[in-house]
């Protein structure tokens, strides 16, 4: 679908996957006006294709649009278009356990112009790809390096938008983590380098002394849809859940006095990922002896159960196509 100033969004079409043509002066290449989303379609045991809270993805796309000066899309129309695309491409939704069809809606500035202004033309596209299970052999706890040198986002920046530049700026941290044998980076706040923000593509939770804690949405953290959903699940099970600022020292302290019980990340791709180890300066913190904890397992079972239609969706989160 295309956008032109004065004409609005128009020309919604479903076409076979193929390269597109852009001017070398397309503004997205120079000024980074690019926003995206990530969601999945799941095949249930009854052979139905369903989405998980897709309305939230299009809402968040519009929030990202607002931050990047990109014109808003019609969220209902986008969802209907996605459903239509999934009906056309139904055979691409994989059926093996743990697999799904990853869906990537995105918008880029296409106007051919050099000069820092919001573009006057855009392209909104949706591409999709079958993806395997995130975990090849059961759920493997991840090892995370707490980043010290770089920050991902600051309050007032674009951290809470899902824009390409945030990921470009996070690559260096991931490279450093990988060099040290860690698969993920935990970002601290950009002001004091003290408070926990989030992991590469997941929001983060800790269970300390029976309470689950996750950083409050402070304007620089991506408001994860899985995060929001898991907070709802925890509340429904009467498990104490706090959304507040967490200094990383608090996690270190809890690990030292034996009250750090579990840590896990949440995200569309990562689902629920137990954290087995955290490295912070010279401290290596082992969480639950590298084993998946009880609450982490319950959340994983509930989330995947709802997504694959094995657990009753009492929250009304799934949308059949």
Say how many residues touch ligand PMP, by CB under 6 A: 13
Residue entry with tokens 């139904």: 90
Rg (CA), the chain: 20
3-state secondary structure of 77: helix
Does 220 sit near ligand PMP (CB under 6 A)? Answer: no
**Helix extents (H) in 89-224:** 164-179
- Return the range that interacts with ligand PMP (CB under 6 A); candidates 83-91, 111-119, 139-147, 198-206: 198-206
Does 222 sit near ligand PMP (CB under 6 A)? Answer: yes
CA dihedral 107, 217, 79, 125 (to 10 degrees): 10
d(CA 149, CA 241): 30
- Return the range that interacts with ligand PMP (CB under 6 A); candidates 98-106, 127-135, 223-231, 234-242: 223-231
Minimum distance, C-beta of residue 199 to ligand PMP, in the bound complex (Å): 7
Q: Which is nearer to ligand PMP, 207 or 227 (CB)?
A: 227
Which of 198, 205, 261, 303: binder of ligand PMP (CB under 6 A)? 198
Direct distance between the N- and C-terminal alpha carbons of the chain, in angstroms, rounded to an integer: 21
Does 224 sit near ligand PMP (CB under 6 A)? Answer: yes
87 φ, ψ (degrees, to nearest 5): -70, -40
**Helix extents (H) in the chain:** 27-31, 54-67, 75-88, 164-179, 225-236, 248-256, 294-307
Does 190 sit near ligand PMP (CB under 6 A)? Answer: no
How many CB atoms sit inside 10 A of residue 290's CB?
13
- Return the range that interacts with ligand PMP (CB under 6 A); candidates 83-91, 199-207, 274-282, 284-292: 199-207
Q: Which is nearer to ligand PMP, 110 or 268 (CB)?
A: 268
| Site pattern 4..43 for ligand PMP (x: CB under 6 A) | ----------------------------------x-----
d(CA 170, CA 187): 9
Q: Which two tokens stand for residue 138?
A: 């059961």
Q: Which is nearer to ligand PMP, 12 or 154 (CB)?
A: 154
Does 225 sit near ligand PMP (CB under 6 A)? Answer: yes
Which of 70, 108, 151, 202: binder of ligand PMP (CB under 6 A)? 202
| Site pattern 238..277 for ligand PMP (x: CB under 6 A) | ----------------------------xxx---------
Q: Which two tokens stand for residue 241?
A: 């859940």
Inter-residue contact 227 to 266 (CB < 8 Å):
yes
Which of 99, 201, 304, 318: binder of ligand PMP (CB under 6 A)? 201
Minimum distance, C-beta of residue 167 to ligand PMP, in the bound complex (Å): 7
Minimum distance, C-beta of residue 158 to ligand PMP, in the bound complex (Å): 11
Cα 135 from chain centre: 17
In sequence order, which residues have a C-beta less than 8 Å from that of residue 31 and are 6 or more positions away? Answer: 109, 116, 119
Binding site for ligand PMP (CB under 6 A): 38, 198, 201-203, 222, 224-227, 266-268
């Amino acid at each position: 679908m295309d956008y032109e100033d004065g004409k609005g969004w128009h020309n919604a079409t479903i076409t076979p996957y193929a390269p597109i043509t852009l001017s070398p002066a397309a503004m997205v290449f120079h000024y980074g006006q690019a926003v995206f989303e990530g969601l999945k379609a799941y095949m249930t045991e009854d052979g139905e294709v369903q989405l998980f809270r897709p309305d939230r993805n299009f809402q968040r796309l519009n929030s990202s649009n607002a931050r990047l000066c990109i014109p808003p899309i019609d969220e209902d129309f986008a969802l209907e278009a996605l459903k239509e695309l999934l009906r056309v491409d139904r055979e691409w939704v994989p059926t093996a356990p743990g697999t799904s069809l990853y869906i990537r809606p995105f918008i880029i500035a296409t106007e051919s112009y050099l000069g820092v202004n919001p573009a006057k033309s855009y392209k909104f596209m949706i591409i999709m790809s079958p993806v395997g299970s995130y975990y090849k052999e059961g759920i493997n706890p991840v090892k995370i390096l707490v980043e010290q040198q770089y920050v991902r986002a600051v309050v007032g920046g674009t951290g809470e938008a899902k824009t390409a530049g945030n990921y470009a700026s996070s690559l260096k941290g991931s490279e450093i983590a990988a060099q040290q044998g860690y698969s993920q980076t935990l970002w601290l706040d950009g002001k004091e380098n003290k408070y926990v923000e989030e992991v590469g593509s997941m929001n983060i939770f800790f269970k300390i002394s029976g309470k689950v804690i996750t950083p409050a949405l402070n304007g620089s953290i991506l408001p994860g849809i899985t995060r929001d959903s898991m907070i709802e699940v925890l509340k429904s099970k009467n498990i104490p859940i706090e959304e507040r600022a967490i200094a990383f020292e608090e996690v270190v302290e809890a690990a030292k006095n034996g009250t750090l019980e579990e840590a896990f990340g949440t995200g569309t791709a990562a689902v629920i990922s137990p954290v087995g180890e955290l490295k912070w300066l010279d401290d290596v913190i082992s969480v639950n002896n590298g084993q998946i904890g009880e609450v982490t397992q319950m959340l994983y079972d509930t989330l995947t159960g709802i997504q694959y239609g094995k657990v009753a969706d009492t929250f009304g989160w799934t949308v059949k196509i």
